[in-house]
Structure 1
Amino acid sequence: MTSFPALTRRRLLSTGAATIGLGAAGITPAFAQSTDVALQLSWLHSVQFAGSYIAKQRGFWRDAGLNVSLNPGGPNAPVEPPVVAGRALIGISAADYASAAVAQGAPFKIIGVAMKKNPFAIASLPANPVRTPGDLLGKRIGMAIANTPVLQALCALNDIDINGIEIVPTQYDAAPLVNGQVDCLLCWATDLPVAMAMQGIDSVTMLMADHGYAVHSQTYIATLDSIANRRADVVGLLRGEVQGWAAYEADTDAATDVTLAMFPDAGLDVETQREQARRQVPLMFTGAADNPFGWFTDDSVAANLQTLALLGREVSADLWDRSLLEEVYG
């Protein structure tokens, strides 16, 4: 993966000859004042955003002349409004949410993709496993009714008759599966399966992305105005993300330690966070030099357009803008 020098062009230009003169005198210069920006997270603080925490802790953004606030999201804190209002320079959304906002007039572009594979999964128990979409036939699936379009899209992509699956409305909890009320659950691969593992319960996880469900998750969104008029700041924030997530990939346990140290009062369980951190890796990183962190390809965009159409989202490839990542990796 491309590495980036600590002394950015912005800092070099802002300090210039004064830095050279003070350095010769053995004095450490004070750099120009940082620009305050915010990154709007999509959920509450946890290891889900550990690469961002590392970027802040290690000063990757400071080296780019940015003072970045990490604003948590949550059930009552959607990502898109603060980005539209300019309270956050970049937000972490998802292709389905971003496309819905754009359909309502939001001036967004997706400028990076943290999770190349969507985390939606079908979790089941080894005694009655769901390993392929075809295994869903005749099964009772526990899920939120609001996620019915997700299941419909998976079935359409795999030529499965959804009428052969019994949908059981459930809370977002592993208990209905463990207690035998349902045969499987629609969930994120990084949470309910982890919760069961922490209780010593083995599970089978079928990642929907492995069966055609292509919706970019943890996507970086920015407004057209920010891309046009604050481009250097947007690129600097993305570059810090790339550096932070590279450190995360290299040592997920250390990334977990950073998360717990930064948010000691968040009620995070260390072993649960460690396991979640490990399970995020295959969703975010390919190991391919031509498809590094944050990158997206024309083929992946085309696959997203197909799945989004099944979800009722009519968008074009113009929603994605790779030019800022090209500057980051340039």
Structure 2
Amino acid sequence: MTTRWKRLGMAAASVALIATTLTACSTTESGSTTSSASADGLTPVKLQLQWFKQGQFAGYLAAVDQGFYRDQGLDVQIVDGGTDIVPQTVLAQGQADYAIAWVPKALASREAGAGITDVAQVFQKSGSRQVSFKNANINSPADFRGKTVGNWGYGNEFELFAGMTKAGLNPASDVTLVQQQFDMNGLLSGDIAAAQATSYNEYAQLLETTNPATGQLYTPDDFTTIDWNSDGVSMLQDAIWANTEKLNDQAYKDQTVKFIAASLKGWAFCRDNVEKCRDITVAAGSTLGASHQLWQVNEVNKLIWPSPEGIGMIDESKWNQTVEIAKSARNAEGSTVLTQDPDAEAYTNEYVTQALDMLKTDGVDVTGESYTPQEVTLEEGGK
């Protein structure tokens, strides 16, 4: 980790490359996007994802597939992310109308000057985990001492450093940090003792792998998982971010309410139609298999539902916890994610509240109080 939290402003050249490929919107002198109605009267809207299309984003894919955006007068194009794409930067530079990003890394970008605002907090729980083989005897962050610890970087590792900080570990000297690929091969090969994972993706990759000792797939009993929610250092993750400057424009404000309403309706649809959303995600071009995508949609639902205050509402206490951890947890170089509190425009419940009122009027269940997850059987390789 050679710079402050893994080059938070990173990849300007990559963002410039992205800009050349996004052609549906024009750009004003101030750098904000403007949209003109398409031939069918719909307003073109561009959504920048944090990663490639997968179950993590099933609600947005469903909103396209089921016509929820179209019902709001929007023609939404969903753009893949990747390791060299910073969605909040794409948004701030006017190359997308909205973006999906984890809160701490987006706040770091905002502190660095990106004009972005969290307008709907979709994930209410963290999906981040640190996973080890059970025989490694790693049962808490304190047990990382003297071990090889994997992290992805790119702003995805903040909770890991928060957990080590809370446990009194110095990540520069008490552990051996390993740059981890976005898979679990390092753990499976023995190169990493504790590997970073999300509950909905990389953890499933382990359970889709054959245990050479038994000839059967690995099971949860083979691993020990540290859940940052339980450890008290969880941070808010997937949120819908809007362009702060454009929120001064009434047309963009109205569009934002409509976009949020349709997106949240998509997530309510995926709560109630897990198999259908698996099929939508696979059809959208994911290279991951059907059982893996079913697992993803089911696990992501657990991070969203139930939402007692309404899906997308930003909980002030969870926001404050994210900010405090971002200001206090230190990486291997002693740096923190944030150096000060974000300003008042960093988040707002104004638009999601209006969107929820629209959905409730239409009879959509926006709290999911009776939600129960499914049991998913993974196949080898996630097929």
Taking structure 1 as the reference length, what is the TM-score of the superposition?
Answer: 0.81
Aligned pairs, how many?
Answer: 296
Partner of 2:308: 289
Maintained 8 Å contact 1:301/1:317: no
CA spacing shift, 1:206–1:104, aligned 2, 3 Å: same
Maintained 8 Å contact 2:89/2:109: no
> What SS does the aligned partner of 1:217 have?
coil
Maintained 8 Å contact 1:226/1:234: no
**Following superposition, which runs of at least 4 residues in structure 1 exceed 6 angstroms of deviation?**
145-148
Maintained 8 Å contact 2:159/2:228: no
Greater per-residue helix proportion = 1
What per-residue deviation string (whole Å, max 9, x for no partner) do you get for residues 277-310 of structure 1? Answer: 222222222x1432x3222211111111111113
What per-residue deviation string (whole Å, max 9, x for no partner) do you get for residues 224-243 of structure 1? Answer: 23322111101100001110
Q: 1:327 offset after TM fit, Å? A: 0.8
Partner of 1:312: 337
Unaligned runs of 5+ in 2: 1-38, 210-216, 329-335, 358-383
Partner of 2:184: 174
The equivalences for 1:251-290 within 5 A come to: 251-263=273-285, 266-285=286-305, 287-290=306-309
Partner of 2:101: 93
The equivalences for 1:46-125 within 5 A come to: 46-125=54-133
Matched, 1:206 2:226: yes
What per-residue deviation string (whole Å, max 9, x for no partner) do you get for residues 13-48 of structure 1? Answer: xxxxxxxxxxxxxxxxxx971111111111111121
Q: Report the identity percentage.
A: 19
Matched, 1:247 2:247: no
Unaligned runs of 5+ in 1: 1-30
CA spacing shift, 1:74–1:188, aligned 2, 3 Å: same
| Whole-angstrom CA distance in 1 between matches of 2:152 and 2:106 | 21
| Whole-angstrom CA distance in 2 between matches of 1:221 and 1:100 | 14
Maintained 8 Å contact 1:157/1:212: no
CA spacing shift, 1:103–1:253, aligned 2, 3 Å: same
| Whole-angstrom CA distance in 2 between matches of 1:101 and 1:55 | 28
Q: Which moved more, 1:77-86 or 1:56-65?
A: 77-86
> What SS does the aligned partner of 2:77 have?
strand
| Whole-angstrom CA distance in 2 between matches of 1:259 and 1:111 | 24
Partner of 2:12: none
| Whole-angstrom CA distance in 2 between matches of 1:167 and 1:83 | 31
Partner of 1:157: 166
The equivalences for 1:231-242 within 5 A come to: 231-242=253-264
| Whole-angstrom CA distance in 1 between matches of 2:85 and 2:170 | 36
Of the three residues 306, 315, 318, the one matched with 1:300 is 318
Q: 1:317 offset after TM fit, Å? A: 5.8
Partner of 1:11: none
Q: 1:62 offset after TM fit, Å? A: 1.1
Maintained 8 Å contact 2:127/2:199: yes
Q: 1:165 offset after TM fit, Å? A: 3.3
